[in-house]
A and B are shown apart, each in its own frame.
Chain A
């Protein structure tokens, strides 16, 4: 797939996204102005955003795969996964209060995350390669935030908006992958003491490692690799759940412990 936007348009759209992310306001989806925008354009804008953040002193800590489960694709009305980058500025500790005043439409989902000990290079990366290169896995909650007005978006705009990445929380109990049957790991998402979503990790492309392999192969298309020591979230097992100030969220995982966070103003 080819880019259709020129350099000037990419920079302008990147600045629009950066403003919306940094100041927490909603903008119309980018395809309203550029209806023929492609996925490659979306990734070009996302790459520009990543370079800007790194120049500003943010540290790249890893990547996330998004829209990797049928529940998520159905919820978002899209038919293919996407990826986004993660920086230290997006990380929040477990058992903390996460501010919502700097977010637009915050929603949470529970995921299995991987920490790598060897670099991974596509194309042709497989789930088996990912498991070989994994140091450990751990549970994670991702707080996603779409910056597009009225939740109206398409995959091209979402990719430009860094896959709706906003905040992430890794925690719970780290485990070696060899000790687990990842696809059958069950997960329950509770909000204010009530179970709101449940599923098993197989919901993510039959095996969460397959989502990481997909991510490595998309990186390869962008001429990049996944360095050793990366933190990678494999995508929501369940549909995402909206949160507001005062909400308490717990993600409980079979064999991997739990993560608890609260949301404040």
Chain B
């Protein structure tokens, strides 16, 4: 697969993103796409968004839990780029009109106060370099028809990132048990699911260290101030107009979001 085709596929994803439509999975076409090429397509997709005026604000880690890894048949996480346009801050209301086929995930975000240059980064380095952790919702979305993704499809599609909301409570990771902190998710006032930090690669800090090292191999550092979404601790939650979600993390606190409008699918 040459650069021209990679650019074409990245542009196709960008066009789908812009028009809120979906495209046929790359893995169902006669492309023989590799994981490395999938990340190159992702780069092109994001480059188009940055050209249009968005700025890079951090990274997201996906495919961190055992059930999702088993579903996709891959036994390591993936990552995507977070941009300024993905961060929702207006009263924590998520406008579904801008999304295609969204699903919500509850997780922990790390906000860095120091650069992290992998490889060679451990979970202890991650805690040292973290300004604060915060409960958050990531709303994943797929530009691939019916979420029929294999790992190469979701990687090319920026790890299926949609938008994200950070909660208001900031926690010092030195004072928290990130591994054993419970995660309680309510949907419309009813208990939806519970989990713990250990669901993410044994501990969310492990997932962040994994990404620091993976990016380090590619010569990309984590920069101070970046937001790193460490991976879902909940099942995927289908959402529609009027739904309210709240996640509550033991020792840390809550993040609430409300959904309005109508997604494309």
Residues of A within 8 A of B (CB): 70, 181, 183-188, 195, 198-203, 206, 237, 252-255
**13 other A-B residue contacts (CB within 8 Å) besides A199-B195, A199-B196, A200-B183:** A184-B249, A185-B182, A186-B177, A186-B182, A186-B183, A186-B197, A188-B179, A198-B195, A199-B182, A206-B191, A237-B194, A253-B180, A255-B177
Name the residue in B179, B184, B197, B251 with the highest tally of chain A Cβ atoms < 10 Å from its Cβ: B184
Q: Assess the A198–B248 pair: CB atoms within 8 A.
A: no
CB of B256, distance to nearest CB on chain A (Å): 15
Residues of B within 8 A of A (CB): 177, 179-184, 191, 194-199, 202, 248-251
Assuming A188-B196, A202-B191, is B202 touching A183 (CB within 8 A)?
A: no
CB of B172, distance to nearest CB on chain A (Å): 16
Q: How many A-B residue contacts, CB cutoff 8 Å?
A: 73
Closest 9 CB pairs of A and B: A200-B182, A186-B182, A186-B196, A184-B250, A200-B194, A254-B180, A202-B184, A184-B182, A203-B194
Complex partner residue of A200 from B177, B184, B202, CB under 8 angstroms: B184
Assuming A183-B248, A254-B177, is B196 touching A198 (CB within 8 A)?
A: yes
Residue of A nearest to B247 (CB): A184
CB of A193, distance to nearest CB on chain B (Å): 11
CB of B143, distance to nearest CB on chain A (Å): 32
- Specify which chain A residues have a CB less than 8 angstroms from the CB of B184 in the assembled complex: 183-184, 200, 202
Assuming A199-B194, A200-B195, A200-B250, is B202 touching A186 (CB within 8 A)?
A: no
Q: Assess the B202–A254 pair: CB atoms within 8 A.
A: no
Complex partner residue of A202 from B177, B194, B251, CB under 8 angstroms: B194
CB of A162, distance to nearest CB on chain B (Å): 27
- Specify which chain A residues have a CB less than 8 angstroms from the CB of B196 in the assembled complex: 186-188, 198-200, 254
Cβ contacts A to B, 24 pairs, < 8 Å: A70-B191, A183-B248, A184-B184, A184-B249, A184-B251, A186-B177, A186-B182, A186-B195, A186-B197, A188-B179, A188-B180, A195-B202, A198-B195, A199-B196, A200-B182, A200-B194, A202-B194, A203-B194, A237-B194, A252-B180, A254-B181, A254-B196, A254-B250, A255-B251
Complex partner residue of B250 from A70, A186, A206, A237, CB under 8 angstroms: A186
- Specify which chain B residues have a CB less than 8 angstroms from the CB of A186 in the assembled complex: 177, 180-183, 195-198, 250
Complex partner residue of B182 from A70, A195, A202, CB under 8 angstroms: A202
- Specify which chain B residues have a CB less than 8 angstroms from the CB of A200 in the assembled complex: 182-184, 194-196, 250
Assuming A184-B248, A195-B198, is B191 touching A254 (CB within 8 A)?
A: no
- Specify which chain B residues have a CB less than 8 angstroms from the CB of A198 in the assembled complex: 195-196, 198-199
- Specify which chain B residues have a CB less than 8 angstroms from the CB of A184 in the assembled complex: 181-184, 248-251
Residue of B nearest to A205 (CB): B191
Name the residue in A185, A186, A206, A253 with the highest tally of chain B Cβ atoms < 10 Å from its Cβ: A186
Residue of B nearest to A254 (CB): B180
CA distance A185 to B180 in the complex (A): 8
Assuming A184-B248, A206-B191, is B198 touching A254 (CB within 8 A)?
A: no
Assuming A200-B184, A254-B182, is B198 touching A188 (CB within 8 A)?
A: yes
Residue of A nearest to B196 (CB): A186
CB of A88, distance to nearest CB on chain B (Å): 31
CB of A183, distance to nearest CB on chain B (Å): 6
- Specify which chain A residues have a CB less than 8 angstroms from the CB of B202 in the assembled complex: 195
